[in-house]
């Protein structure tokens, strides 16, 4: 063997060093934690079998990596250690056996009772140390390499959950607490969304975001990040007598001094109870407001902790029982483009199946072409897939080091993969869209569902399943085909007896007499909701006027801005769409057309003309739609969301965000009886 030849052990060590650097120094992990854990486990196994191969610079001998340049360094008075991992119940029982065996040896008598353990969620963030002198925060530091970390005092001061001054009484002169800084899931999602909106690089997971946020040289940036600190142990304490003698009690003492501790923490007796706790938390994992990657079990009595002591990296009295990983590595086989029910063309990653977050994943959404470019994704790439809780699996990162070059780039489809019609990407929008709204196969079921819905043509008796069947059987290709259905076509379909068929046919017949506003709304023109359809009908009076309207005349309609106007222009410029509209008219759909001037002068004479209402919450004496109708009859405009232009919000029971928004915008709020008496007065 030549001197330069690398042994498998060297290769593992080298890989671990590189990953440590990406993880601890760059806050940008290159491989998933699970992959790292496996590599570390391999190293530990080899070293356990061949202790003579353990070198001082082996990654097994250190906890983190060197501190980031730019921060002052802090030497920890007591080293900040790591935890050994258990990956299954057997590992955990083995840990308990080791604990008891050691205690037996050191005390010289058998430990008969079950050990008392403190059980805590293993928060997925970064470890910090905070030192208080005479009750005042003096230093905040990261773990760094375990002996020396970075001085992040300024940054730690910006966290609301970090007490700057201890409360209560009885704290020792010097008190060092240790804990985890983490970012709650909701804050992580919101931060990533705002980064994405600004076209900036997003974070892979909350842990890496918390680390990045905490190690900002500008503490103003940290202050804006939703970080929290949870205390989980103590470090150097000047007077140990100031503290209880059990870990669980110490944490409650810390709570009394102003620290946040984890609400799920429990004290149990025996390792089987630990396993039960693990199961209970595992099933609750997705419901928690923050991410955890396992459970930490700690021998509760400090005296026992002391006699158990430490090994190189970790205490013998604690262990982390890990949950199944939420991130894994796999390969991107190909990208398919799917057309959704609203015409959005979405790229979907087809992956080599991988077990992640508790399920086997072989597909992941890629959202849109921007996301593909942002990830710099190429066919055949090795990728990190993340599936946290019930969240849809996501490709979060490409492992560039593993790319086979040349790698094939991913191009968007030139036409709709479903109907071969034109696709377009509107300005300011990330999505590609098939524009054949009423005629593209992928969108037709949705278009029909909308068409028959109560607020549109109000055709009873057509559920989603039946619409799907009609479309699949080729009996309905677009909404106008509904009016060609007869008894023969319907009877025999699933859940369609004689009676239902004739009910449906009469509902179809009845729907033919409608209003222009309802007809416009039922066409499903994007951005044209009920209120806009009504405004258009009132403004133009007839369909022909709307079809021939240009940009300028559309913009003259109240509430129609350039985006909506463009949608309307596009809609009526498409020949396939126009054919469907004409087929509907030929099928006998009719409504009253009127002279817009007349309608407008009638509207102007109504008591609620020019007033805009929003109705929310549960009403006691009538439905929201009934109230809406009464308001509209009096000339009011009823919108679905609150804005500065809203005159009144009618708020029933359990009114939520709309009420908050109205209050924030100082919009007048009416309760149900106030609204009804306003209507009664107007009718008087
Ligand atoms: S105790 C000597 N308790 O897990 C014991 N650690 O791999 C030190 N962690 O560095 C750790 N939640 O960043 C402890 N409830 C908890 C924890 C916890 C998360 C992290 C911490 C530590 C790492 C150990």
Q: Whose CA is nearest to atom 3 of ligand 1?
A: 232
Q: Which ligand 1 atom sits closest to the C-alpha of 233?
A: 1
Per-residue pLDDT, 63: 47
pTM of the model: 0.66
CA distance 383 to 189: 21
3-53: CATH class: mainly alpha
Best CA proximity match to 675, nearest among 625, 631, 638, 642 = 631
Nearest Cα neighbor of 202 from 213, 193, 212, 215 is 193
**Gap between the Cα atoms of 117 and 304, Å rounded:** 11
Cβ-contact 138, 77 below 8 angstroms: no
Centre of ligand 1 from the C-alpha of residue 297, in Å: 10
pLDDT at position 65, please? 47
Instruction: Give me the pLDDT at residue 496, please.
Output: 83
How many angstroms does the Cα of residue 492 sit away from the middle of ligand 1? 64
Structure tokens that stand for 651 in this block: 């708020």
Matching CATH number, 444-511, of 1.10.1060.10, 3.30.9.10, 3.40.50.300, 1.10.150.20:
1.10.150.20
* DSSP state string for 290-345: S-EEEEEEEESBHHHHHHH-B-SSSBTTEEEEEPPPSEEEEEEEEEEEEE-TTSEE
Nearest Cα neighbor of 326 from 33, 576, 43 is: 33
Q: From CA 46, how far away is CA 60, in angstroms rounded?
A: 11
Atom of ligand 1 nearest to the CA of 143: 10
CA of 122 to the centre of ligand 1 (A): 6
Size of the chain, expressed as the number of residues it contains: 684
Write down the pLDDT at residue 67.
54
- As given in the structure block, the two tokens for residue 627 are 């109230």
- Please choose from 180, 230, 292 the residue to mutate so as to test ligand 1's pocket, defined by most ligand atoms within 8 A of CB: 180
Q: Ligand 1 mean position to 128 CA, how many Å?
A: 10
Closest CA to 546 of 587, 596, 590: 596
pLDDT of residue 516: 96
Alpha-carbon distance of 433 to 339, in angstroms, equals: 8
pLDDT computed for residue 20 by the predictor = 77
Nearest CA to ligand 1 atom 17: 122
Which residue's C-alpha comes closest to atom 6 of ligand 1?
Answer: 122
User: How many Å apart are CA 597 and CA 575, to the nearest integer?
Assistant: 30
Catalytic residue among 13, 66, 105, 122: 122
- Give the residue whose CA is nearest to atom 12 of ligand 1: 122
Nearest atom (ligand 1) to Cα of 120: 15
Q: Which of 76, 82, 126, 299 to mutate to test the pocket of ligand 1 (most atoms within 8 A of CB)?
A: 82
**Backbone dihedral angles phi then psi of residue 212, each to the nearest 5 degrees:** -60, -40
Q: How far is the CA of 615 from the centre of ligand 1 (A)?
A: 50
Q: How far is the CA of 181 from the centre of ligand 1 (A)?
A: 11
For ligand 1, the distance from its centroid to the CA atom of residue 300, given in whole angstroms, is: 15
Residue 194 CA to residue 200 CA, distance in Å, equals 9
Q: Is 122 a catalytic residue?
A: yes
Q: 529-536, long-range: CB within 8 Å, 24+ apart, which pairs?
A: 529/640, 530/455, 530/640, 531/559, 531/637, 531/638, 531/639, 531/640, 532/559, 532/560, 532/564, 534/632, 534/637, 535/559, 535/560, 535/637, 536/560, 536/568
State how far the Cα of 527 lies from the Cα of 411, in Å rounded to an integer.
Answer: 29
453 contact partners, CB below 8 Å, separation of at least 6 = 522
Distance 294 CA to ligand 1 centre (A): 10
Q: Could you tell me the two tokens for 120?
A: 């805590």
- Tell me which residues have their CB closer than 6 angstroms to ligand 1: 81-83, 120, 122-123, 127, 180, 232-233, 296, 315, 318, 320
Q: Which among 664, 22, 20 is positioned nearest to 397, based on CA atoms?
A: 22
Fold category of 327-409 in CATH: OB fold (Dihydrolipoamide Acetyltransferase, E2P) (2.40.50)
Secondary-structure breakdown of the chain: helix, strand, coil percentages, each rounded to the nearest 5: 40, 20, 40
Q: Which of 182, 320, 321 to mutate to test the pocket of ligand 1 (most atoms within 8 A of CB)?
A: 320
Q: Report the residue among 79, 127, 250 best suited for mutation to probe ligand 1: largest number of ligand atoms under 8 A from its CB.
A: 127
pLDDT along the chain (684 residues), means of 10: 69 87 72 87 89 83 58 93 94 96 82 90 96 95 92 92 91 97 95 87 89 89 93 96 96 95 97 97 92 96 94 91 93 94 90 92 92 94 89 91 92 91 81 83 88 93 86 90 92 83 94 96 92 92 95 91 92 89 96 85 88 94 92 90 93 91 94 94 88
Q: Which CATH architecture has domain 606-684?
A: 3-Layer(aba) Sandwich (3.40)
- pLDDT given at position 2: 42
Boundaries of every domain in the chain: 3-53, 84-89+97-322, 327-409, 444-511, 606-684
Residue nearest atom 18 of ligand 1, based on CA coordinates: 122
Contacts of 545-553 with C-beta under 8 Å, sequence gap 24+, read 545/596, 546/520, 546/572, 547/572, 547/578, 547/581
Tell how far the Cα of 83 is from the centroid of ligand 1, in angstroms.
7
Name the CATH superfamily, with its identifier, for domain 84-89+97-322. Answer: DNA ligase/mRNA capping enzyme (3.30.470.30)
> Which residue has its alpha carbon closest to ligand 1 atom 14?
232
């Amino acid at each position: 063997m030549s001197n330069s030849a690398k042994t498998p052990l060297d290769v593992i060590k080298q890989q671990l060093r590189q990953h440590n650097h990406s993880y601890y120094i760059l806050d940008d992990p290159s491989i998933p934690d699970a992959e790292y854990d496996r590599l570390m486990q391999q190293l530990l196994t080899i070293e356990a079998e061949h202790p003579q191969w353990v070198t001082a610079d082996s990654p097994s001998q250190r906890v983190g990596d060197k501190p980031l340049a730019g921060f002052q360094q802090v030497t920890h008075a007591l080293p900040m250690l790591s935890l050994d991992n258990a990956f299954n119940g057997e590992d955990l029982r083995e840990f308990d056996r080791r604990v008891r065996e050691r205690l037996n040896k050191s005390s010289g008598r058998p430990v008969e009772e079950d050990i008392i353990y403190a059980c805590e969620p293993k928060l997925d963030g970064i470890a910090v140390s905070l030192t208080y002198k005479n009750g005042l925060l003096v230093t905040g530091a990261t773990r760094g390499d375990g002996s020396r970390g970075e001085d992040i005092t300024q940054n730690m001061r910006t966290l609301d959950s970090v007490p700057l001054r201890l409360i209560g009484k009885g704290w020792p002169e010097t008190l060092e607490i240790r804990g985890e800084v983490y970012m709650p899931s909701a804050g992580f999602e919101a931060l990533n969304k705002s980064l994405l909106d600004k076209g900036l690089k997003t974070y892979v997971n909350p842990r890496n975001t918390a680390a990045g946020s905490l190690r900002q040289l500008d503490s103003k940036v940290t202050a804006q990040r939703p970080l929290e600190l949870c205390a989980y142990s103590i470090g150097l304490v000047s007077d140990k007598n100031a503290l209880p003698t059990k870990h669980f009690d110490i944490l409650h003492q810390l709570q009394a001094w102003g620290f946040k501790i984890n609400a799920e923490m429990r004290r149990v007796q025996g390792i089987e109870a630990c396993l039960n706790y693990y199961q209970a938390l595992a099933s609750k994992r997705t419901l928690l407001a923050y991410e955890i990657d396992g459970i930490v079990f700690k021998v509760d009595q400090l005296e026992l902790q002391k006699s158990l002591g430490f090994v190189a990296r970790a205490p013998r009295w604690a262990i982390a029982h890990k949950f199944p990983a939420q991130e894994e590595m796999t390969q991107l086989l190909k990208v398919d483009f799917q057309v959704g029910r609203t015409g959005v063309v979405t790229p979907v990653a087809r992956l080599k199946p991988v077990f992640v977050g508790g399920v086997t994943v072989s597909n992941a959404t890629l959202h849109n072409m921007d996301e593909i470019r942002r990830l710099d994704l190429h066919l055949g790439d090795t990728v990190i897939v993340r599936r946290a809780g019930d969240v849809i699996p996501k490709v979060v990162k490409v492992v560039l080091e593993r790319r086979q070059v040349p790698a094939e780039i991913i191009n968007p489809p030139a036409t709709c993969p479903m109907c071969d019609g034109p696709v377009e990407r509107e300005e300011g929008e990330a999505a590609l869209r098939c524009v054949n709204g009423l005629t593209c196969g992928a969108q037709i079921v949705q278009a029909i569902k909308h068409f028959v819905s109560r607020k549109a043509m109000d055709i009873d008796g057509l559920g989603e399943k039946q619409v799907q069947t009609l479309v699949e059987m080729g009996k309905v290709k677009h909404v106008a085909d509904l009016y060609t259905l007869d008894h023969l076509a319907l009877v025999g379909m699933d859940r369609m007896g004689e009676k239902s068929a004739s009910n449906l046919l009469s509902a179809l017949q009845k729907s033919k007499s409608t209003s222009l506003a309802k007809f416009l709304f039922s066409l499903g023109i994007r951005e044209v909701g009920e209120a806009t359809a009504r405004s258009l009908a009132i403004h133009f009076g007839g369909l022909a006027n709307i079809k021939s309207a240009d940009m300028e005349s559309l913009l003259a309609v109240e509430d129609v801005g350039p985006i909506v106007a463009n949608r309307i222009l596009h809609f009526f410029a498409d020949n396939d769409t126009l054919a469907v509209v004409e087929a509907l008219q030929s099928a006998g759909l009719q409504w009253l057309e009127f002279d817009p001037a007349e309608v407008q002068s009638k509207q102007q004479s109504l008591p609620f003309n020019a007033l805009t209402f929003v109705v929310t919450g549960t009403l006691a004496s009538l439905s929201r739609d009934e109230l809406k109708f009464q308001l509209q009859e009096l000339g009011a405009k009823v919108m679905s969301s609150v804005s500065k232009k809203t005159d009144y919000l009618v708020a029933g029971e359990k009114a939520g965000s709309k009420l908050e928004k109205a209050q924030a915008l100082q919009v007048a709020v009416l309760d149900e009886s106030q609204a009804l008496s306003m209507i009664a007065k107007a009718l008087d």
